[in-house]
Amino acid sequence: MSGGDRKKRADRGEGWEEAGAEFYQESYPGEMDLDHVLQKDPHHLATLLPSKHTRTTTARKKDTKATLRRRTSTRSYCGTVRQNTTGVNNEVQVSIMPDLSENLSNEERTWEEIMKLKTLPVSMAEKKEMKARLLSAETFRLQGLDQLRWQKKKCCLRLKFYYNQINSFFSIWELKLRRLEKDCGTGIVSFFTFFKSLIFLNYAMSWFIIKLLVIPVYFLQKHKIEENDIAADNDNSTEIIDFCPIIYQNISNSAELNFDVGTVFSFIQGTGWIQSTPLFYGMYPAESIPLFNTRINLAIIYLVVLMCYHAGFFIDLAKKFKKSFKQRLLKNQGQFYLYCNLAFSSWDFSIASKKAALARHKSVFSLVREFLKIQRQKDDKQHQTTDESCKLLVIRFTVNLIVLLIYFCSAAIVYYTIQHCTLMRDVTLNYYQTLLNEYLPAMTIVTLNHLIPLIFNYFIKFESYNAFCTQHLSFIRAIILRLLLVSVLFFSIFTVASCKPNKSECVSSSCKTPLCWEVYFGQQIYKLLIFNLVVEILLTFFINFPRKLLASHMSNNFAQFIGNQTFNVRKHILDIAYIQMICWSTAFYAPLLPMLTTFVLFITFFLKKFACVVNCAPSASLYPASELQSLFVFVLSSFYIFSIIPWAYSVLEIMPSKSCGPFRGQPSVWLIFSQALHDFPSWVKMFAQFCSSSWFVMPIIVTLVLLLYYYYSVSIANQKMVLVLKKQLILEGHDKQFLLNRLSAFIRQHQEKHKAMARSVDTPRIK
C-alpha cells in the first residue's frame, strides 16, 4: 500500500471517526457514492447492500484492506469508506485498519490485536505493517493486578502453544500417519488415529489391573509360601469345599514349567502351567489382605478392580458417543448439507500423490452420481408398477430367508463342533491332535466369520438396494454373524457351567463341568483371540500380499480381478471391535487378558497398516473422517453392551466353582458384595438401602423421564422454528430482489426522464 493511498484513506475516514466509528457506518456508503454507482449502472445496486458490502473487498485488488464480518463487531477497527475514482471498475471499497485515534488501548489490548492479525486474509506485508503500527502506538502500561493477570494469561497461552507443538512433535506414530495422509487422505488416517487411541486406552486399563490386582496378589502368594502353610493342613474340616481347591492345586502343580514341547503346546492352548499363572482366574486365592488395620477380602478387590476396568471403557465410550451422536442428530434432522459437503469438503487438500488424487477424483465422481441416482430413484418410486415392487419384495424376502438359514446353519456348526471337542477331550490324543481338538471351536468361529460375509455379499446383489444401503446392510449382517457365533460359544460354556453340583462333589459330573469353569471360559476366549490374530496374519501376508503381487506383475483381466483389492474400512473396524469385544466379555475371568489384547491390537495395527499401504490400491470409495469415527464408536458401543451381558449373567447367576478363584464357596459372585456390606459402618448401610429403595428410585426415574420429554419437545419446537425462519429468509430474499428491481427500474426511468428533459431543453435552442 502506498503512502498516498493511506493519506487519502485517512482523509476520507475522518468523518466517520468523528462520528463515533461504529460498525454499520462502514456499510452504508455516502450519498455521493450511491449516486455515482447508480449513474454508472443501476443494476449494480445489489453490490451496495450492507450484507454484500462488507465482503466485496476481500477478493479485490491490492490496495484493498479486507474485512471480516465477524471482526466488524470489535470496536477497535474502524471502517473507512472510500471511492476508487481512478480504477476502471468504479466500486466502493471498504478498508479496515486499526483505529489509532481511538487508541486508548493498554498493553493487553494491543497484544490481543496483534494476536488477532493472523486471522485477517491479507498479505504478510500488510500484517507486518499493522503490527508495527500497533506496536508503535502509545499504550498504557498495565498496573498492579491487571499487569499480573495479563502476564498470567499471556503465559498460559504461550504454554498452551508450546504444549501443542511438543505434543504433536512427540506423539507416537504421528509422523508416520501424516505420511499416510498424503497417500490415503484424512478418512483412513482418522481410522488409524482412532485405533491408536484405542490401543493406548487398553494399555492404560491393563496396567491399572496389573498394578492393583496382579502385583499385590503375586506378593501375597510369595509371602504366604515363605511363612508356612502348616496352618492350612491342621484344619480338619471334613467339608468337601475344602478339598476341591487342593485337588485343583494338585492338578495345576503337576503341570510344572519344564522346558519341552509340551510347555509350548500348553502355552498355545492356554492349559497346563499357564493355568496357574495370573493370566487366569484360577490362580487368585480366596484370602483377605491386611490393609490399614482391617482385612479386606481379596474377592472384593478383584470385583472392584474389574468393574473399574469396565467403567473406564464405559466413560471413554460415552465421551466419544456424545461427540458422534451430535453429528448423527444433525444428519437425521435433515440439517445436514449432503451436496454442499460433497462439493466443498470432499477434496482432501493433504493428498499429495498422483495415484491418490486420481482415486479421489473417481470416488467423488461416483459418489455424486450415486447420490443423484438415489434421488432419481426416489422420484421414480411413485411411478413404479405394483408388479415390479412385488417382485422386488419377493426377492428381498427370499434373500433374507437365505441369510437367516445361513445364520442358523453356522450357529449349528459351531455348536456341534464345541460338543464334539468336549467329547474328544476324554480320549487320549498326542500333542498335535490335542492342539487341533482344542483349537477346533476357535477355528470354526473365525473361519465362518471371514467366509460367510462373502456369501452374504454375493446374495445382496440380488436385492438391488442402492450402494449405501448395500454397504450398511452387509455391515450389519456381518456384525450379527459375529455376535451370533460368539454367543453360541458363551451359551455352550454357560450351559456346562450352570449345572449345580451335588453337595458331595466339586463339580457336576453329569454335565462334565470342568474343575474350574472360569478358567475354561478364559481358555476358550484366549484361544479365539490367538487364532484370530493368526488368521489376520495369514490373510495379510499369505493371501492378500500374493494377490497384490499377482495384480502388479500380470496385466491380464483374471489377475486384475483376483488381485485388485481396496481397503474396506468397515471390515477392519469390525475386526478391531471384535477383538475388543471378546476381551471385554472375558476380562473378568482372565485379568491379564487385557494386556494380551493390547499386544494383539498392537500387532493388528501394523497388519492393517501393511494392508492399507502395500496390499490395497488407493481407496475407491470416499470415507469422510467424521463418518468413520462415528461408525467406529457405534460398533464399539454396541459390542460393549453385548459383552456386558455374558459378564453380568455369569456374575449374577452362575455359581463360582468350588475349587478355584477368589469366589470359591460362594453361591454367587454378587453375594460377596452384600456380605461385605455387613462389615461397613451403619450409615453406609443406611445409604445403600435408601439408594436401592423405591422411595429414592421412583422419583429419579420420573424426573429423568420428564426431563427427556422436556428436551424432546424443545427440540421439536426448535426444528419447527428453524423451518419457519428458513421460509422467512427465503421470503425476505424475494422481497429484497423485488425491491431492488423496482428501485433500479425507477432510477432508470428517472434517468431517462432527465435525459428526455435535457433533450427537450436542448432541441428548441437548436431550432
Partner 1 sequence: MGQAQSQFSEEELQDYEDLTYFSKREVLKVHQKFKALAPEKVGHNKNAKLSMSKILQYPELKVNPFGERICQVFSASRDGDLTFEDFLDMMSVFSSYCPKPVKAEHAFRIFDFDGDDMLGLSDLRQVIDRITGPQHLSEQELQHFIQNILEEADLDDDGALSFAEFEHIIDRAPDFARAFSMHL
Please give the residues from 55 up to 74 whose contact with partner 1 meets the rule CB under 8 A: 55-56, 58-62, 68-70
Tell which one of 243, 347, 465, 642 touches partner 1 (CB under 8 A).
Answer: 347
Single out the residue of 74, 151, 253, 345 in contact with partner 1 (rule: CB under 8 A).
Answer: 345
CA distance 481 to 479: 5
* Footprint of partner 1 on 365-394 (CB under 8 A): 365, 368-369, 372, 375
Give the separation between CA 84 and CA 362, rounded to whole angstroms: 46
- Between 431-460 and 517-537, two packed helices, what is the crossing angle to 10 degrees? 60
Interface pattern 601-640 for partner 1 (x via CB under 8 A)? -----------------------xxx--------------
Among 117, 142, 308, 467, binds partner 1 (CB under 8 A): 117
Quick check: helix, strand or coil at residue 37?
helix
Backbone torsion region of residue 98, taken as left when φ is above 0, otherwise alpha when ψ lies between -120 and 50, otherwise beta: beta
Q: Whole-angstrom distance between the N-terminal and C-terminal Cα of the chain? A: 54
Kindly state the number of chain residues that form the binding site for partner 1, as judged by CB under 8 A: 77
Stretch that binds partner 1, among 12-20, 223-231, 362-370, 459-467 (CB under 8 A): 362-370
Burial class of 181 by CB neighbour count within 10 A (0 to 12, 13 to 18, 19+): buried
Select the span of 161-169, 263-271, 588-596, 687-695 touching partner 1 (CB under 8 A): 161-169
Return the closest-CA partner of residue 604 out of 646, 557, 626, 572. Answer: 572
Scored b (16 or more CB within 10 A) or e, 54-81 reads bebbbebeebbbbbbeebbeeebbbbbb
Find where cell 455391515 sits: 475
Site string for partner 1, 703-732 (x = CB under 8 A): -----------------------x--xx-x
SS3 141: coil
Looking at 143-151, 353-361, 503-511, 591-599, which segment touches partner 1 (CB under 8 A)?
A: 353-361
Shorter beta-carbon distance to partner 1: residue 155 or 423: 155
Taking contact as CB under 8 A, which single stretch among the options 17-25, 356-364, 601-609, 641-649 is the one that binds partner 1? 356-364
Per CB under 8 A, 40 contacts partner 1: no
Q: Which residue from 190, 185, 310, 202 is spatially nearest to 573, judged by alpha carbons?
A: 190
Between residue 171 and residue 200, which ones bind partner 1 under the rule CB under 8 A? Answer: 178, 181-182, 186, 190
Residue 68 to residue 79: CA distance in whole angstroms: 11
Q: What is the DSSP letter of 66?
A: P
Which of 43, 52, 319, 742 is close enough to bind partner 1 by CB under 8 A? 52
How many residues are recorded in the chain? Answer: 767
Strand, coil or helix: 335: coil
Residues 665 and 241 sit within 8 Å (Cβ to Cβ): yes
Our CB check for partner 1 shows the closer of 369 and 500 to be 369
124 binds partner 1 (CB under 8 A): yes
Span of 149-157, 298-306, 402-410, 733-741 interacting with partner 1 by CB under 8 A = 733-741
**Minimum Å distance from CB 465 to partner 1?**
21
Q: Is residue 290 helix, strand or coil?
A: strand
Q: Is 351 in the site for partner 1 (CB under 8 A)?
A: yes
**310-339 binders of partner 1 (CB under 8 A):** 327, 330, 335-339
Q: How far apart are CA 457 and CA 403, in angstroms?
A: 11
Q: Which of 6, 36, 109, 131 binds partner 1 (CB under 8 A)?
A: 131
- Identify the helix (H) or strand (E) that includes residue 289: strand 288-291
- 346 touches partner 1 by CB under 8 A: yes
Short-list 39, 4, 251, 46, CA closest to 733:
46
| Closest distance of CB 330 from partner 1, Å | 7
Q: What is the rounded distance in angstroms from the CA atom of residue 656 to the CA atom of residue 668?
A: 6
| In contact, 437 and 421? CB cutoff 8 Å | yes
Closer residue to partner 1 in complex, CB, 99/181: 181
197-205, 342-350, 488-496, 643-651 -> range binding partner 1 (CB under 8 A): 342-350
Q: Is 50 in the site for partner 1 (CB under 8 A)?
A: no
Residues 523-582 that bind partner 1 (CB under 8 A): none
Which residue among 104, 115, 137, 318 contacts partner 1 (CB under 8 A)?
115
- Answer for which of 255, 289, 296, 357 binds partner 1 (CB under 8 A) is 357
Residue 43 near partner 1 by CB under 8 A: no
